[in-house]
Structure 1
């Protein structure tokens, strides 16, 4: 699974240069390390990002993702290793000499300037001719749909409009790479979701390489062609979002990306790619491409939507069955979340999609239920 990194779900476009042995990355992090005193922010990290790729760096606060972005932008220098853009080392190249631009979470708009003057600022600094500046600003305002707001000040704009001004200013100089550091963090949930698709469309229209830093899993999974999950200055997994979600490389990745139930188990036997696991919750049969050994301690990871929740006896043909009691219920509109306490004391989560407006026989608290799932529903993780 880690080799081909084909998407397991629907994909936005057919774009997989990382699977082409002849393709060379536009951006290369080559054994990069960054220390701040005794603290190691980035630890011997290597990574390639391709032309026209929308790449996401995902991880918790303090994992090193923003430091990595700042080193690429030129605001920090690596302690060790090298960063190359288009095959050329960026060591010693100041930020203003790099063919890339960075958009910050705060937007950093000039409050005394109009929208069009904010967008034009970098072009004026570069000494571009006035007629070219006007044409470029017009193009950028059209691109982000802000033509009617050109003469407004930032204080007269909504948060989403300010975000678009910052984006237009970042794109006006036509960088090879646009770096985005938590760019949607200041927006409310609905506007953030709308802006994610706008960014995707914009990136494809311009044909640029986007590198985004975020701690929002949904944001990374929605927009990115590939994502790197980081922890303590290292990369745990790099893959398309569907692969990270459906085939996490480790317990940490499974737990960090999306909702998951983790069941401690031991390999009892192996036969034709099927592992029989022994756990306090019961026996589990699971497909596994990994090399495992009988007696080996593992974790069985399964997503809530892969567990079928029902009352009464399980289906006769179901390969895996767990029984438990409804402990908590969370209604989210489109789905209802159920936390199920198993007889072993472990808690697993299942979801039911609310396809009907009224559910007269909704499963309730403290009700005895059955969970069934297929052999390929979960992932057996050795680490």
Structure 2
């Protein structure tokens, strides 16, 4: 969906320089101020505060029932907070009906009118607002061109593929030119390949239009791919808000580490902690890692490491006493681009390692029940502070 003009500037360069949350003078466009939402005795959102900035692609990530969709519905105006306030551009939204808010929402089901053509679906909200026919015609043509659906203007939704229906819903949501677009599991109905393609198209479209996107998803890869920042939610609270790379590489709790991507978490006792280096005695072996955590000898701590950080080999390392685990290959999963190895250690832990398949064939492929070594360097893992499970 990127235009020739936008193609002249790398999207990566735009996103790399975009960090308004680190600018003390920047003010959020959307503010959740100690918001709580209860349904009877159940608390869906619990005293939550959050700021989302103009032009940000923001993801609310969490398991079903964590409160992310409730948060989106309160922003849209379909629910009112039990306590706290929600502000848009500094103005409170309390009591403002959905149709008076300068935002639009795209639902997972797309909610297209089956008896209307594509162009009439896109024009529906504009007609409801009383826009002149000529303006509606021009705006609909603009939206269909934006999402590359001009040849399908006269078709009805049931004559379109799932991906095309998703684009109709997107065009309809954008037709009224909202300040904020809310997306509730927008790609859930698409197959894996189309979902991945659409993620990049949404990113390009968001930059092209200069809008603020807030997306709700339970798919970690989707949130990691599209968003500038991710808020990981659990039980109505936010556990961590950060850029995708920070959430993945430096999770602040066991829950975040375990929810976002694959991870091995080892418990152990601190042997030494000095000069930014921690030595942790685990059942799997001695771990030495860099950490700024304030830990004392004898204290219990958790060490998290991602599968791609572990090097798998038949050969023993030069120093097998630290950052080296020996075990047996228990399970193997070939995924095309990578192969996953689950390695069972003598103490009973299972550690996962990911190996990139750089060659089409390997003459000495590691097999089941082979003895192997898993090694890693100091920077490979992270000490998890706190116990926000």
Relative to the length of structure 1, the TM-score reads: 0.96
Is the alpha carbon distance of 1:187 and 1:20 closer, same or farther for their aligned partners in structure 2, counting shifts above 3 Å?
A: same
Measured after TM superposition, the shift of residue 319 of structure 1 is 5.3
Q: Is the 8 A contact 1:102 1:170 kept in 2?
A: yes
Q: Which residue in 2 is equivalent to 1:140?
A: 143
Q: Which whole-Å CA distance do the structure 1 matches of 2:14 and 2:244 have between them?
A: 9
* Runs of 5+ consecutive residues of structure 1 not aligned to the other structure: 1-8
Of the candidates 54, 63, 72, which is equivalent to residue 60 of structure 1? 63
Aligned length: 375
Residue 286, structure 1, aligned to residue 286, structure 2: no
Residue 364, structure 1, aligned to residue 367, structure 2: yes
Of the candidates 176, 190, 206, which is equivalent to residue 173 of structure 1? 176
Q: Which residue in 2 is equivalent to 1:75?
A: 78
- Over aligned residues, Cα RMSD in angstroms? 1.3
* Runs of 5+ consecutive residues of structure 2 not aligned to the other structure: 1-11
Residue 99, structure 1, aligned to residue 102, structure 2: yes
Of the candidates 197, 200, 222, which is equivalent to residue 197 of structure 1? 200
Q: Which residue in 2 is equivalent to 1:274?
A: 277
Q: Is the 8 A contact 1:337 1:351 kept in 2?
A: yes
Q: Which whole-Å CA distance do the structure 2 matches of 1:247 and 1:11 have between them?
A: 23
Q: Is the 8 A contact 2:220 2:260 kept in 1?
A: yes
Is the alpha carbon distance of 1:299 and 1:11 closer, same or farther for their aligned partners in structure 2, counting shifts above 3 Å?
A: farther
Residue 50, structure 1, aligned to residue 49, structure 2: no
Q: Which residue in 2 is equivalent to 1:331?
A: 334
Q: Is the 8 A contact 2:285 2:322 kept in 1?
A: no
Measured after TM superposition, the shift of residue 10 of structure 1 is 9.7
Q: Which whole-Å CA distance do the structure 2 matches of 1:114 and 1:65 have between them?
A: 32
Q: Which whole-Å CA distance do the structure 2 matches of 1:10 and 1:340 have between them?
A: 39
Q: Give the match's secondary structure for 1:283.
A: strand
Q: Which whole-Å CA distance do the structure 1 matches of 2:98 and 2:274 have between them?
A: 56
Q: Give the match's secondary structure for 2:16.
A: coil
Is the alpha carbon distance of 1:179 and 1:322 closer, same or farther for their aligned partners in structure 2, counting shifts above 3 Å?
A: same
Q: Is the 8 A contact 1:319 1:374 kept in 2?
A: no
Residue 110, structure 1, aligned to residue 113, structure 2: yes
Measured after TM superposition, the shift of residue 261 of structure 1 is 0.5
Q: Which residue in 1 is equivalent to 2:164?
A: 161
Relative to the length of structure 2, the TM-score reads: 0.95
Is the alpha carbon distance of 1:226 and 1:318 closer, same or farther for their aligned partners in structure 2, counting shifts above 3 Å?
A: farther
Q: Which residue in 2 is equivalent to 1:85?
A: 88
Q: Give the match's secondary structure for 1:211.
A: strand
Q: Is the 8 A contact 1:28 1:83 kept in 2?
A: yes
